[in-house]
């Protein structure tokens, strides 16, 4: 389903990877008529993403370190200067380090929290200031790790669990300003960030998914587009899980082993 976003301005962080979720979200909104700006720390990749996205509509890119207050403020200043208003903002930036919690240096822990959690706070605060005129929509990226922790990526899981809780608090606090705040919970999505994990245990990962297949960035983009739409106008403080039924039961692989059920 496509929604009409003509006349709307949408911002997306973590959108520099052409194989990533942020890029797919930006593309979806552009195809629906929106003006889009993308933000990322990786300048070369960001410029490449902008070039790729220009074929779909009006897009601009801003180098932004989402973990730094002054960089976020400057990015929003430029966006408002160029577009005048921000109607929808997607906090998608994140990092996924693999390390046991007790083996991590404190600085590495802080980096995960700053990029994955502090960034959501900083962007939400700036959005609340510029959306107070006529409302808007904030959409935050959590993770399946927010619901079920993972050995070897505890810092990531903790940061995303905090995003889950923060999103619900923001939904209540910003409702009087006409700002809806929702989030999305991707399961195992094939992106550049997850490629290493997927390559090492694809069969195992698919076996824990009811649909028996991995997700695509476009699957997430479709759900985000809905959350931002007028059709979702009574949704706030809500998360959509985009996981193909990951661990929806204890034994999702069972049905696939029955020859009379499996196609």
Q: Give the CATH number of the domain where residue 83 resides.
A: 3.40.50.720
- Number of structural domains (the chain) is 1
234 assigned to active site = no
Packed helices 21-31 and 43-53: angle between N→C axes, nearest 10 degrees? 30
Q: Is the pLDDT of residue 224 over 90?
A: yes
* 200 occurs within a structural domain: no
The percentage of the chain sitting over the pLDDT mark of 90, rounded to a whole number, equals 87
Q: Is the pLDDT of residue 175 over 90?
A: yes
* Mean pLDDT score of the chain: 95
* 219 occurs within a structural domain: yes
**Full-model pTM:** 0.95
Q: Is the pLDDT of residue 263 over 70?
A: no
1 pLDDT tier (thresholds 50, 70, 90): low
The residue range of the domain holding 96 is 9-191+214-247
Paired tokens of 254: 């069972």
Taking CA atoms, 223 is separated from 13, 53, 213, in Å, by 17, 20, 18
* 99 occurs within a structural domain: yes
State the catalytic residue, choosing from 5, 96, 144, 156. 156
- Residues 84, 87, 20: CA angle, nearest 5 degrees: 110
* 160 occurs within a structural domain: yes
The rounded distance, in Å, linking the Cα atoms of 202 and 205 is 5
* 2 occurs within a structural domain: no
* 1 occurs within a structural domain: no
260 pLDDT tier (thresholds 50, 70, 90): low
50-77 pLDDT per residue, tens: 999 999 999 999 999 999 999 999 999 9
* 260 occurs within a structural domain: no
How many helices (H) and strands (E) the chain has is answered by 8, 7
Average pLDDT over residues 8-36: 97
Query: Which of 70-79, 113-122, 197-206, 246-255 is least confident?
Result: 197-206
198 pLDDT tier (thresholds 50, 70, 90): confident
Phi, psi of 128 (to 5 degrees): -60, -30
Q: Which residue has the higher pLDDT, 109 or 195?
A: 109
* 4 occurs within a structural domain: no
């Amino acid at each position: 389903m496509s929604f009409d976003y003509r006349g709307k301005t949408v911002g997306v962080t973590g959108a520099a990877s052409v194989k990533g979720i942020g890029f797919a979200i930006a593309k979806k909104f552009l195809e629906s008529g929106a003006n889009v700006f993308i933000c990322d720390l990786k300048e070369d990749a960001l410029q490449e993403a902008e070039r790729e996205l220009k074929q779909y509509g009006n897009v601009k890119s801003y180098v932004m370190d989402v973990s730094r207050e002054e960089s976020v403020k400057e990015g929003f200043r430029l966006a408002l200067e160029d577009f005048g208003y921000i109607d929808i903002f997607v906090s998608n930036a994140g990092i996924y380090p693999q390390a046991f919690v007790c083996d991590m240096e404190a600085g590495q822990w802080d980096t995960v929290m700053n990029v994955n959690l502090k960034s959501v706070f900083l962007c939400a605060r700036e959005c609340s200031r510029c959306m107070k005129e006529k409302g808007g929509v904030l959409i935050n990226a959590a993770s399946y790790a927010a619901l079920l922790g993972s050995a070897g990526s505890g810092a990531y899981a903790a940061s995303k669990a905090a995003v889950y809780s923060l999103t619900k608090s923001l939904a209540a606090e910003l409702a009087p300003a006409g700002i809806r705040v929702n989030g999305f919970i991707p399961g195992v999505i094939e992106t550049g960030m997850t490629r290493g994990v997927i390559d090492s245990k694809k069969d195992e990962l698919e076996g824990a998914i009811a649909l028996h297949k991995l997700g695509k960035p476009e699957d997430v983009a479709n759900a985000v587009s809905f959350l931002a739409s007028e059709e979702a106008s009574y949704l706030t403080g809500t998360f959509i899980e985009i996981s193909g039924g990951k661990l929806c039961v204890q034994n999702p692989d069972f049905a696939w082993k029955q020859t009379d059920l499996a196609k």
